[in-house]
Copies of this chain bind each other. A is one copy, B any other.
Amino acid sequence: METRSSILCPADRDEAKFNGSQKSATPIPGTRGVTGRRSGGRAGRTAKRQSIASQTFDAAWRHWKNPYTPIEQFSADQIEAIHTASLKVLRETGVKVLSPEARAIYASAGMTARDDEVICFDSDLLLELISKASSQVALHGRGADRNVTVGGPHVGICTVGGTPNFSDLEDGRRPGTLESHDNLCRLAQSFDVIHMIGSLAEAQDIAPSIRHLTVTRSVVSLTDKVPFVFFRGAQAVADAYEIIRVSHGLTQEEFSRTPACFSIANSNSPLQLDLLMCGGIIDAAKAGQMMVLTPFTLAGAMAPVTLAGALVLQNAEALAGLALSQIVNPGAPVCYGSFTSNVDMKTGSPAFGTPEYTKAAFASGQLARRYGLPLRSSGVTASNAPDAQATYETQMSLWGALMGGANMILHGAGWLEGGLTVSAEKFIIDIEMLQMFAELFKPVDLNTETLGVDAIAEVGHGGHFFGTQHTLDRFETAFYSPLLSDWSNFENWQDKGSVDSTRRANKIFRETLSTYEPPELDPARLEEIDEFVARRISEGGADIDK
């Protein structure tokens, strides 16, 4: 079998060959002069990425394009059965809408408003509304080349959001603060594979009434990527939009035509939309900013215990919420959100990155494409530590999302503990995994030169390719060079202190913060933002949840 130095190994010659090269401290044969370099090409860029976080442009890392045909969980007939069942749910059971304004809007579009606050949906009217939504949303990032397309083959990666706590190896888990929030902004800005900034960890040391002002100011000044706006009441949403508008230097009218941020609306599964969510959906639609409708369908808890049933409920709630935005503003930028997972039936604990989660992600891609909508999915885990479990659960959810055809990955970096904590080390582990996916998505160059028939003839039998011109011409950019992974052999790894990947991630986290480079922001715009924030704080901020 393929073993590196087992005695009597059937491939001893090969083994000796590459163990020799691997164990030697000197550069590999034939590349001594070249491997010394530390600039240019992937090797140089990555060396830089490992010492200071990357500001180096890599188009494929900044603009993900998924080259693979999505994996399908269900047949077309089965998808139609889920579709038909969710229309039946919306028609006969309907959705309880706690906002009188939203109920009036639904009624104005011909839906039936019952006197128990329930809206029942006519299927044809509903599908006509859904058809008004675009299949792709072009989000405008403030920074050069920070635009993100959500839809079609395009994928935008967002950090974790909505977590109350922050943790690192030094001080463990504690409530989020503005400092931890801002450090996470610096981290997110530092890596090209992050395209959108989630709400990260709650700055719980800032009063809720003014928190949206402080953190939005942080996000637009510490990053130039697409920010998130919390649906925490009309005033808070308007304040955040204003800060983002000014950061882009847009007029009100221009801003309404320029999706520059996004929000998440969670339905209160099963089948309920609350005041905050309805208000946010209406405000985002009017403002022309992207809204992702994500039902919180945990099979066995807020959704049926069957995966099929949970998907029926997810689909019904997503369509109902998305329709509201399309009545308010036909063509308003929206995204179909999938978050269906399951609970541990012995304890009721939510689980993430399970086999059921992965199947639901594949199926959600089919449903979103059924309606011509972009899809949002997630990279998630229930683990309490940035360990092997956190890693395989996140991989199962990322593969489900990306091979299912997701166009936006929320919680792409940092999520731990089912969303209760942002982990500094998990953030770096996730960045490494995301960079690997970005590389996976790069097409393979295939032509006469890369097929290498001549190079193979030149090396002949039992030789090696280290020193050949074919190798020297390409080795610097041939392969992904990792941020976190340690490929040194056991002896060298031991000599370096036998540091495992979680502790290495902590070190990279610290180094990245120490080498963070802030993005450009017109001082006049920042001044205008600061004046606005100061004024709004002096006015008492926003009456949250109204």
Q: Give, as a whole number of angstroms, the nearest-CB distance from A236 to chain B.
A: 9
How long is the Cα–Cα vector from A415 to B119 in the complex, in angstroms?
56
In chain A, residues 243-294, which have Cβ atoms closer than 8 Å to a Cβ of chain B? Answer: 264-272, 274, 276-277, 280, 294
Q: Mark A8-24, 1 if CB is under 8 A from B, else 0.
A: 11110110011001101
A-B contact pairs, 26 of them (CB 8 A): A1-B411, A3-B161, A3-B164, A7-B202, A7-B208, A8-B230, A18-B343, A18-B348, A21-B343, A21-B348, A22-B347, A22-B349, A69-B72, A95-B461, A271-B456, A300-B465, A300-B475, A302-B465, A304-B470, A309-B455, A312-B452, A387-B500, A388-B391, A391-B392, A393-B485, A399-B403
Q: B residues within 8 A CB of A300?
A: 465-466, 471, 475, 478-479
Q: Give, as a whole number of angstroms, the nearest-CB distance from A432 to chain B.
A: 7
B306 and A445 within 8 A (CB): yes
A308 and B451 within 8 A (CB): yes
Q: B residues within 8 A CB of A387?
A: 387-388, 500-502
Q: Give, as a whole number of angstroms, the nearest-CB distance from A187 to chain B.
A: 17
B485 and A345 within 8 A (CB): no
Q: Which of B202, B304, B500 contacts A471 (CB 8 A)?
A: B304
A4-B418, A466-B348, A489-B349 are known contacts. Are A312 and B24 too (CB-CB below 8 A)? no
Q: B residues within 8 A CB of A487?
A: 344, 347, 349-351, 382
Nearest residue (CB) in B for A264 is B1
Q: Mark A86-129, 1 if CB is under 8 A from B, else 0.
A: 00110011011000000000000000000000100000000000
A301 and B465 within 8 A (CB): yes
Q: Which segment of A74-82, A136-144, A219-227, A517-525 sits at the interface?
A: A74-82
Q: Which segment of A51-59, A325-333, A355-363, A529-537 sits at the interface?
A: A355-363
Most B-side CB within 10 Å, residue of A439, A449, A500: A500
A10-B266, A232-B8, A384-B490 are known contacts. Are A471 and B3 too (CB-CB below 8 A)? no
Q: B residues within 8 A CB of A410?
A: 1
Further contacts, 16 of them, CB under 8 A, given A302-B465, A306-B451, A309-B470:
A1-B410, A7-B202, A10-B264, A11-B296, A21-B343, A89-B457, A92-B457, A270-B465, A301-B465, A304-B450, A349-B488, A351-B485, A384-B488, A388-B391, A392-B433, A393-B485
Q: B residues within 8 A CB of A391?
A: 388, 391-392, 395
Q: B residues within 8 A CB of A10?
A: 230-232, 264-266, 274, 276-277, 280
A383-B485, A461-B271 are known contacts. Are A451 and B82 too (CB-CB below 8 A)? yes
Q: Give, as a whole number of angstroms, the nearest-CB distance from A484 to chain B.
A: 7
- Give the number of copies in the complex: 2
How long is the Cα–Cα vector from A22 to B96 in the complex, in angstroms?
26
Interface residue A429 (Cβ < 8 Å from any Cβ of B): yes
Interface residue A514 (Cβ < 8 Å from any Cβ of B): no
Interface residue A313 (Cβ < 8 Å from any Cβ of B): yes
A202 and B6 within 8 A (CB): yes
Q: Give, as a whole number of angstroms, the nearest-CB distance from A541 to chain B.
A: 13
9 closest cross-chain pairs (CB), A and B: A309-B452, A1-B162, A21-B348, A3-B162, A96-B461, A355-B439, A304-B452, A395-B395, A1-B161
Q: Mark A415-430, 1 if CB is under 8 A from B, else 0.
A: 0011111000000010
In chain A, residues 19-57, which have Cβ atoms closer than 8 Å to a Cβ of chain B? Answer: 21-22, 24, 27-28, 31, 35, 43
Nearest residue (CB) in B for A296 is B14
In chain A, residues 471-506, which have Cβ atoms closer than 8 Å to a Cβ of chain B? Answer: 471, 474-476, 478-481, 484-490, 493-494, 498, 500-502, 505
B270 and A1 within 8 A (CB): no
Q: Give, as a whole number of angstroms, the nearest-CB distance from A386 to chain B.
A: 7
Interface residues on A, range: 35 or more
Nearest residue (CB) in B for A348 is B21
Q: Which of B344, B355, B500, B544 contacts A436 (CB 8 A)?
A: B355
Q: B residues within 8 A CB of A368?
A: none
Interface residue A198 (Cβ < 8 Å from any Cβ of B): yes
Nearest residue (CB) in B for A78 is B446
Q: B residues within 8 A CB of A189?
A: none
B2 and A162 within 8 A (CB): yes
Nearest residue (CB) in B for A82 is B451
B355 and A490 within 8 A (CB): no
Most B-side CB within 10 Å, residue of A3, A74, A162, A471: A3
